[in-house]
Structure 1
Amino acid sequence: MAVGVLAMLGCGPQRAGKGTTPGGDGGAAASPSERAAIIAASDLPDTIAKPLPGDPMQVTVHRLSNGMTVYVSVDREKPRYLGWIGVRAGSRHDPADSTGLAHYLEHMLFKGTDEFGTLDPAAEAPHVERVRALYAELREVGDDAAKRARIFGEIDRETQAIATTAIPNELDRLYATMGVEGVNAFTSDEQTVYIGDVPSNRMEAWAALEIERFSDPVFRLFYPELEAVYEEKNLSLDDPDNRVWETMMKGLLPQHPYGAQTTIGESAHLKSPAYQDMVDYFERWYVPNNMAIVLAGDVDAKTALPLLERSFGQLEPKAVPTDLPGKVVPLSGRIAREVVAEGEEAVQIAWLTVPVSHADEPVIAVMDRLLDDEKVGLMNTQLELTQKLPEASSFSQSLREAGYFGVRGLARGGQSPAEVEQLLVGVIEKLRRGEFSEADIEAAKLHHSVDRKLRLEFTSARANEMMDAFVTHQQWDDVVARDARFAAVTKADVVRVANAYLGDDRVVVVRREGKPEVAKIDKPKITPVKIDPSRKSAFGKRIEAMPAAQLEPQWAVEGRDYAHRKLPAGDLIASRNVRNDLFTLEYRFDRGYRKEPLLCYALDLLELSGAKDRSAEQFQKQVYALGASVSTWCDAEHSSVSISGPDDKLEPVLALMDEWLAAPSFDGKTLSSLRDNTLSTRMDGMAEDRQLSSALDSFAKYERRSAWLRRPSNRALQRAQPNTLRKLISSFMDHRHRTLYFGPREADLVAKVVPRGKRHREVGEVEVKSYRRTAGPRVFFLHKEGAKANVRFVLPQGPLPRELRPNAELYSEYLSGSMSALVFQEIRESRGLAYSAYSVYDPGDRPRDASGLLGFMSTQADKTPVAVETFLELLRAPGVQGDRLAVAKASIDQRYRASRLEPRWINYWVIAWDDLGEPTDPRPAQWKRMAELGEVDLEAFAKRFADTDVIVAIVGDRSRVDLGALRKVAEVQEVKVEDLFSYGPFPAAPAEARPPAGASAPAPA
């Protein structure tokens, strides 16, 4: 490729024999001595050829010749590995006048290079360069609306020219055909990380694709991708929890990028994005001696390192700019802030603490557990078990340059923020006074070790820990030693640290109920980009043609992977934990609040109660001291009680569970507090976006059979008495149930220990799912002010015949199996109609259940009618695109070959198969049948939706959503919030208490 073209297109670390930097000839490669000096100055971790003693992850750390660090943690559970590529650069490194840059650069690194993502890099080059120049011009014109409109119009035209040769999402399509899953990326304060879950036979292709991605990226289709970034920003502005967090961080660190800048970016900066700053940022930070590759799973350093050296080793090292520390200013006094949002009211308090490398960091981690862990932390016992607050929690974070510690309390109706703050501070004062025991600390340490074992069952936890070590500049031996430092913490340490950091100098953020006034980003008009799924680059074809040894699928086999045993109360399903000594035991009932309206309420009360003569705190601490936990779960159709912990403690924990269920210490005071908090939480939920969207969707689909309309009314809760609820609990185990055990023991040994219940009463069948019948297409619309609309679809069908389940699975993959699949590409990438969009076929949980094609998208409210119409056109499209189908089939084939059922979750797969009437693992037959399916088969399956009356549920703003335009698509029925819930009238809330004397009024955020 000519140097002149590279000057316009390429941007990235210099690669031996290829590439240069924008605006120059790239310069000569560094000499060996210069390379060595650059690498030595990059503050890289020491290499570790053999795992350190006492390292449960058995990590090795390696260095490529160009300074790129490689971490490896081997796990042979399945023939896959997580491949994470991380950069020590995030939003903390954004220029102060170009915030959000690291994040939208992350988006752009999915667009391809001069080798893939386009059919003709030379043809697109002048248009890419013109877009760069236009964005520079946009930053010069400020807020001049006419000039901005002209520039956006020209950017749109240049984008259309680029699209004539572009291959959108070729990266994701290539990964889909290879069986790579979870392709994504994330940006935070100190890092940007690109992730993939890769079949172990595809490392060579993965490395070839990733080195190309980071060598010569081309930021094509920048304009439509910004639409997604704008939507993401608007979603963050609509999220009260996000606004509370950002307000807290600005209060804590107003002069540091951690607090002064947000990862998504300031609206003013996003309106005029700095294209050239993005290029410069990539050049500055995306260099090999500032990057790490993390491999966790079925991989060996011996085979991986030579391959990585041949690929990533081509990148030229470059001096990394001095990462100047931000300014951390000590807090002075109580700094009050307020966030106005609909729904719940809450108080969040935070203090500055220490960075990750500080000696006090492990003490703060212990302190966090002492405050909030299971149900025995001070926050839990003092505030939640007593129901002084509906919810209370603590949190802690140590970054490279600063740290913070916080607590949060949810207010119930009529409870003032001042009272909530007072309760939270009261618990902190108990901590500062040392009102806890050494036994509490030892139990917290035991649970830390249990949690460590549990986390290491998952490669994602391993990858995350290794990447965190790299981006925070920690040596791996320090990471390994942290467990020992944690174990050495004493009560005196905690009291000292609590008094040192958790004092009067703090930030208090009040989330107050009200209608917020949040300015949203207005998005420019974008002409849809035409997408041709048949396009392939020459590079992409070479990647697809790379040879790889074929993996063979492994199915779940009864007797080897799990066991069924008949118990008096129902089936036992048991599977072995061969990784560690932990167990989980669950008693699962097909009985919820539909059959027994007050059952879930009784279980809620049980969670706040002790056993026999022990208080709730005493009982929970007794369980906690064993390294164990006990919990319940309940919904409309199901309920359960579960215990977990070290397997040698199974019998004593089981005995405690028996006491808890047989003789719960219910009392009127706890029930009264639970009732007040439940009613308050219900009222708050009726203003929350997620809950409203769920309730409307359920109402639209199931009418009066909606789960939200089956819940007991407020009056029923008010009338409930302790004795009535106690009887529901004492007889709980006397109903038929299934018992699920995952742990080290053999099934026959488990069967001797776990049977429970005396009478084994029948519970009846789970309700057969059936959808609402409508005379024509119907839109159910719920008004809620805001910039976005949440839209859900269903095209109802009858029960799905067993022989068509493979068709349904393949059709789901075809529609939304990846970012290169039909729905995401056409809705987001081509037209910019939604930030998120997907569709999947729901086959039902049981043979008699109705099935249906489901869809979801979150869109800008004023785009709702066209977005709905476009989505329906896709779902009802008469034909099947052969190229997309080929990708879907290849993706599913590779998934079945390279995936294995996680041992911890295999019991739940078996339950699902049992419910469907499958005596054995049904996947072998489905895999074989999907390989046989072709376009004709899938088109025949898709035709069933052509004339199906769609049901649409939309939560949006009536003033922004054109209901007249929606009526051209379907009949529109507006519903009220009270139509969606069974609660009925709420009691009048008490007047809000006055703030305590001397409390200052919070300043608006």
Structure 2
Amino acid sequence: MRLKLLLAIAAMGLGMSAHAKEYKYVTVPGDMMQTRIYTLDNGLRVYLSVNKEKPRIQTYIAVRTGSKNDPAETTGLAHYLEHLMFKGTKQFGTNNPEAEASLLAEIEQRYEAYRKLTDPEARKKAYHEIDSVSQVAAQYFIPNEYDKLMATIGAEGTNAYTSNDVTCYTEDIPSNEIDNWAKIQADRFQNMVIRGFHTELEAVYEEYNIGLTSDSRKLFATISKMLWPNHPYGTQTTIGTQEHLKNPSITNIKNYFNKWYRPNNVAICMAGDFDPDKTIATIDKYFSTWKPGADVKQPTFAPLPALTQPKDTTIVGPEAERVWMAWRAKQANALQADTLQLLEDVLSNGRAGLFDLDLNQTMKVQRANGGTELLRDHGAFFLMGTPKQGQSLEEVRSLMLAEIEKLKKGDFPENLLPSIINNKKRSHYQLLESNEGRADMFVNAFINEVDWKQEVESINRISKITKQELVAFANNFFTNGYVTVFKKQGVDSLQKKIDKPAITPIPANRDMVSQFVKDIQNAQVEPIQPKFVDFKNDMTTLSTKKKLPLYYVKNNDNGLFELVFFYNFGKSADNRYEMAADYLRYIGTDKMSASDLRQKFYELGCDWSMNVSAENTTVALYGLSENMPQALALLEDLLQHAKADKEAYDKVVGLTLKNRSDAKKSQGVYFNYLYTYATVGKRNRMTDVMSEQQLKDTDPQVFTDLLKGLANLKHRVVYYGPMAEKEVAGLLDKTHVSAKKLADVPQNKPYLEQLATTNEVLIAPYDAKNIYMRMYHNEGRNWNPEDEAVIEVFDEYFCSGMNGIVFQEMREARGLAYNAYAAYRTPSWKDRKEFFLTHIITQNDKMNDCIAHFNEILNEMPVSQAAFNIAKEAVTKRLVSARTTKIDIFYEFLTSERLGLDKSYNELIYKNLDKVTLQDIVNFEKANIANKPYRYIILGDEKQLDMKALEKIGPIKRLTTEEVFGY
């Protein structure tokens, strides 16, 4: 249908003249988000969608430029700039912009000279001079003032990301802070100043180091180069090269900013609780002075060389082996995207696609999936497979190609296409529930230049694609012109070690506050009144005729439901249930095979899951409410009549053992195991699993009996959906199988954190250029609910976020890490203990500096009244704008129940928040954190670490990989 052009009159009510400006906007009939799309006079695009669920707004500012637009001689530039956008302007981030300006100009020129030097000694001398000038400039720098501004207005999720075609800046703000947010962002995007450059560069390099052990990143870079060999998608990566990362150009960054960061190349995307008429007027008020760019047209590139024959390559890395394949596709805004989306779901929708049923369900491979990557200039269709134990990558590729051949022959069920449409509608409903999901759609449409009408009508168009058309497309699309990357395990000899630079820490200047920040702090906004969950009124508690406790929350928004059977026991009581949950996905009943069941659930637009955590077990059913009765009957039949299958069980055991082996090869996963072992002990939530021998010796009938036996154990039922209470209770009485008298559940044997009251070092081996390290202290402090407000403010002030002391000192001032934080953990059960930890990922030769400075700020915490005020204000605004809704009402009730509270956890904090002072934070830190012994938990290659320095800390305990994983 033709787009409607409507008029909206902005009635600001802020002393404006009677002749308020009229703002034209575009809408699309049938758009469930009721999106308004404005284009201001300077070309700035604004997408607005109202969602009144809670008084918060997801904001994205998307710039249509990314690593594709990087100059070839300074790759990584777009990503650099993303980081530098947090450093401030002439109005904030500095206490004297005039005095600072000449020093920043000198630093810029020195970097231009430095990047051209090749002699190591000359470079060292030049870098020392840059560091010296940076120290002088730093006296005027107020680090993290942007983050202080965001904390002041109660923002969450302060971050940004860069990809091939986009750089996007994200904030989740309270609904009463639109004016302050717009004022800050308009200044930021028009008047960015580059400062604190050399320490931020080092943080970016640490980000690069983290990626060195990510084989997925290497896989994508390699396959992109094969697909697009003469386009920036293939010739340069977002993070950039080592050489370019160490030889940056501030001049190039400024030129890039001035070219691409223009209003006619930017979109503001907002979803949440706001008045769109007032909001667009506010945006225009602050952003209208932003001058459009003379040329923001995207660059064009030579046509891609033909790809008519298969091409293979092999890369190596530390993680598990896998194979990726890809075919070229058209760009994101081509209508081909509709067919590709349908194609993706026919092959790999996670439940009933060809890969799902023929490869994953039958366990012919460890796992396999496929999907599209549609970018602004080009696209691709990917297949990804991981081999079983003893299986070759070539065999995995052959199996995936065989499924492509089935697709090309039309060898899939007739009802699959309508089922896909059903599930796409369900997914769309779910997306609409999220402000972030809505805003993400806006960003993608803007960056890829997809007309909003085309986006809104996509499901309708896809629903009209026939099986015959899809098969014809598949035959034309899946030709021999594909590429393959075999990722094998091994050591990448091309990785280079980079020594840490000689950086003099810059001062944090946290007591300094610019006038701009003061103005924002003093700005008067209409307050949001806190609204905490009321368990008696927001959730109905009743019993079914079978005496099952039912917790009911009404869904008044859409036709989706969630039904959860909740059991108060988990793997700590009996670790066999975890295996039973895994096994259940691969078996059927005496009437329906596992594949039949998957297809039936998918046809109904419903799905189920069974999750076994440390201390509770849930069986959940969710999807389209209209089909809930049939889906529940199917699930009950599966649980009661699951048919043990020895052949399937043996394959599940094989997959389980392979997954365990693969876990040891991932640096991040390995560290999670190490940390859990070091803090809980040999028996913990990650290692308390059935042994290989137990798995092989167990009759699979044991697991089907456990599943059937759930009907005899005490449990609660949780429902969120559009059905009436009596209707839900009646359906449960009719369909849900449960014994007349329910037995007590197995007794949990909790995994409890150990005391850590002496200095010691636990180290496990992993060959990498960086280490993961945590410091852990636990003296068995009892939980006190009256301390929660102090702890919450302490966490904001010291531990987490870019405005916290840890981030400022470890990253901003010293460039020691990309990832650094601390946390004071309180228990989820009232009778358990509190503990404290620090976390950092850093280059091997920075370990000593990290340890020394962590101890320095722990033992003598920097104290700042100004920083405390901001932290407390951030916590306050976050709490007053928080809302607990949907099924989360039950889970917050559960948290309160475990803690022995008669109110919500947030309300407990808010009740005591006003009384919290800076001295309370200081006293708390001195009593519980300062000058305490710590257990240092390190994953790394000790051949590259200063072990003598670690010996001075305390006794070193070397752990083997087998000890850490328990197998």
Could you say which TM-score interval applies, normalised by the shorter chain?
Answer: over 0.9
Give per-residue Cα distances to partners, 1:68-94, cap 9 Å, x unaligned.
111111111111112211111111111
Distance in 1 (alpha carbons) for counterparts of 2:701 and 2:866: 64
SS in 2 for 1:536: coil
1:738 deviates by: 2.8
Contact 1:712 1:982 in 2 (8 A): no
Distance 1:886 1:741 in 2: 41
Cα offsets for 1:122-165 (capped at 9, x unmatched): 11111100111011112222x32112111111111111111111
The aligned residue for residue 269 of structure 2 is: 294
Matched, 1:889 2:889: no
Question: Structure 1: 5+ residue runs without aligned partners?
Answer: 1-46, 984-1005
1:303 corresponds in structure 2 to: 278
Classify 1:241/1:897 alpha carbon distance in 2 versus 1 (closer, same or farther; 3 Å).
Answer: same
**CA distance, structure 2, for counterparts of residue 346 and residue 532 of structure 1:** 48
Alignment of 1:600-615 (within 5 A): 600-615=578-593
**1:554 alignment partner, one of 531, 552, 557:** 531
Correspondences of 1:606-755 after superposition (within 5 Å):
606-754=584-732
**Alignment pair present for 1:351 and 2:327:** yes
Q: 3-state SS of the aligned residue for 2:73?
A: coil
User: 1:929 matched to which residue of 2?
Assistant: 912
2-structure distance, mates of 1:730, 1:475: 51
**In the superposition, relative to structure 1, how do residues 675 and 895 fare at CA in structure 2: closer, same or farther (>3 Å)?**
same
CA deviation profile, 1:664-684 (whole Å, cap 9, x unmatched): 132111111111121111112
Kindly tell me: are residues 324 and 162 of structure 1, through their superposed partners in 2, closer, same or farther at Cα, counting changes over 3 Å?
Answer: same
Matched, 1:169 2:144: yes
1:512 partner SS: strand
- Which residue does the alignment assign to 1:1001? none
Shift, 1:298, TM fit: 1.2
Distance 1:835 1:635, change over 3 A: same
Question: How far apart in 2 are the matches of 1:902 and 1:835?
Answer: 34
| TM superposition shift of 1:844 | 0.7
Any idea what the Cα deviations from partners look like across 1:330-376, whole Å, max 9, x if unmatched? 32311112121224211111111121222221011011011111321
- Return the alpha-carbon distance in structure 1 between the equivalents of residues 914 and 224 of structure 2: 52
1:325-364 to 2 correspondence within 5 Å?
325-326=300-301, 327-364=303-340
Structure 1 566/231 Cα, relative in aligned 2: closer, same or farther at 3 Å?
A: same
Aligned partners of 1:880 and 1:939 also within 8 Å: yes
The question of whether the paired residues in 2 share the 8 Å contact of 1:696 and 1:980 is answered with yes
Q: Work out the CA distance in 2 between the residues paired with 1:747 and 1:159.
A: 66
CA change 1:832–1:553 in 2 (3 A) is same
User: What does 1:156-555 align with in structure 2 at a 5 Å threshold?
Assistant: 156-326=131-301, 327-517=303-493, 518-555=495-532
| Contact 2:776–2:835, Cα closer than 8 Å, also in 1 | yes
Aligned to 1:32: none
2:753 to 767, 771, 785: 771
Q: Which residue of 1 aligns with 2:841?
A: 858
From 762, 773, 777, the equivalent of 2:744 is 762
* Paired residue type of 2:913: M
SS of residue paired to 2:562: strand
| 1:764 Cα deviation from its structure 2 partner | 4.4
Q: Please state how far the C-alpha of 1:765 moved relative to its aligned partner.
A: 4.6
Q: How far is 1:258 from its partner?
A: 1.1
Judge which range, 280-289 or 897-906, deviates more: 897-906
Alignment check: 8 A CA contact 1:845 1:916 kept: yes
Change in 2 beyond 3 A, CA 1:363/1:175: same
Q: Give the alignment partner of residue 110 of structure 1, picking from 83, 86, 111.
A: 86
Match of 1:974 among 955, 958, 962: 958
Instruction: State the alpha-carbon separation in 2 of the partners of residues 720 and 602 from structure 1.
Output: 11
Contact 1:345 1:412 in 2 (8 A): no
Q: CA deviation at 1:641?
A: 1.5
1:878 deviation in Å? 5.6
Query: In structure 2, what residue type is equivalent to 1:970?
Result: G
Distance 1:215 1:101 in 2: 19
Shift of 1:880: 4.3
In 1, Cα distance between the equivalents of 2:144 and 2:537? Answer: 41
Pairwise CA distance, 1:773: 3.5
Question: Is residue 72–residue 300 contact of structure 1 (8 Å, CA) maintained in 2?
Answer: no
SS at 1:528's partner residue?
coil
Q: How far 1:328 sits from its partner (Å)?
A: 2.7
Q: Give the partner amino acid of 1:97.
A: E
Partner of 1:34: none
Identity of aligned residues (%): 30
Alpha-carbon distance between aligned partners in 1 of 2:29 and 2:832, rounded to the nearest angstrom: 54
**How many residues of Structure 1 are paired with residues of Structure 2 in the alignment?**
936
> Judging changes above 3 Å, is the alpha-carbon distance between structure 1 residues 520 and 70 closer, same or farther for their aligned structure 2 residues?
farther
Q: Say if 2:615 and 2:750, in contact at 8 Å, map to a contact too.
A: no
Cα distance in structure 2, aligned partners of 1:97 and 1:239: 25
Q: 1:659 to 1:932 in 2, by over 3 A?
A: same
Flag the 1:564–1:939 CA change in 2: closer, same or farther, 3 A.
farther
Letter in 2 for 1:640: T
**Number of the residue aligned with 2:67:** 91
CA contact (8 A) 2:175 2:273 kept: yes
Q: What residue in structure 2 maps to residue 807 of structure 1?
A: 790
Equivalents in 1 of 2:107, 2:620: separation in Å? 58
Runs of 4+ deviating beyond 6 Å: none
SS in 2 for 1:840: strand
Question: Given residue 647 of structure 2, which amino acid in structure 1 is its aligned partner?
Answer: K
Task: Tell me which of 755, 763, 770 is aligned to 1:788.
Answer: 770
Which shows bigger deviation, 882-891 or 161-170? 882-891
Deviations along 1:361-411, whole A, 9 cap, x unmatched?
Answer: 101101101111132111010111101112111121211211100111111
CA RMSD of aligned residues (A): 1.8
Q: Please, what TM-score do these two structures have when normalized by structure 2?
A: 0.94
Q: Where do 5+ consecutive residues of structure 2 fail to align? A: 1-22
Once the two structures are overlaid, the 10-residue window that deviates more, 770-779 or 700-709, is: 770-779
Q: 1:751, 1:952 → 2: CA distance? A: 52
Q: Please, which of 898, 901, 905 is the counterpart of residue 884 of structure 2? A: 901
Pairwise CA distance, 1:453 = 0.3
2:214 alignment partner AA? D
Aligned AA (2:623): G
For 1:686 and 1:248, the matched residues in 2 are separated by 25
Q: Find the aligned partners of 2:713 and 2:540 in 1 and give their Cα distance.
A: 22
**Equivalent-residue separation in structure 2 for 1:548 and 1:350 (angstroms):** 52
In 1, distance between residues paired with 2:311 and 2:185? 46
Q: CA deviation at 1:934?
A: 0.9
For 1:992, the equivalent position in structure 2 comes to: none
Aligned to 1:49: 25
**Contact 1:234/1:520 (8 A) holds in 2:** no
Residue 580 of structure 1, CA deviation: 0.6
- What SS does the corresponding residue of 1:272 show, helix, strand or coil? coil
- Conserved? CA contact 1:733–1:757, under 8 Å: yes
| Distance in 2 separating the partners of 1:875 and 1:590 | 38
For 1:701 and 1:681, the matched residues in 2 are separated by 23
1:504-533 Cα offsets, whole Å, 9 max, x none, are: 211111111222332354442211111121
CA shift digits 1:598-653 (9 cap, x unpaired): 22112211111112221111111111111111122223333222111111211111
Shift of residue 818 of structure 1? 2.5
One-letter amino acid of the structure 2 residue matched with residue 760 of structure 1:
L
Structure 2 SS opposite 1:362: helix
Cα displacement (A) at 1:790: 0.8
Deviations 1:759-801 (Å, cap 9, x if unpaired)?
Answer: 5221245444533245611221112110111112322133312
Deviates more, 1:676-685 or 1:922-931: 922-931
Displacement of 1:428? 1.1
- Report SS of the residue matched to 2:53: coil
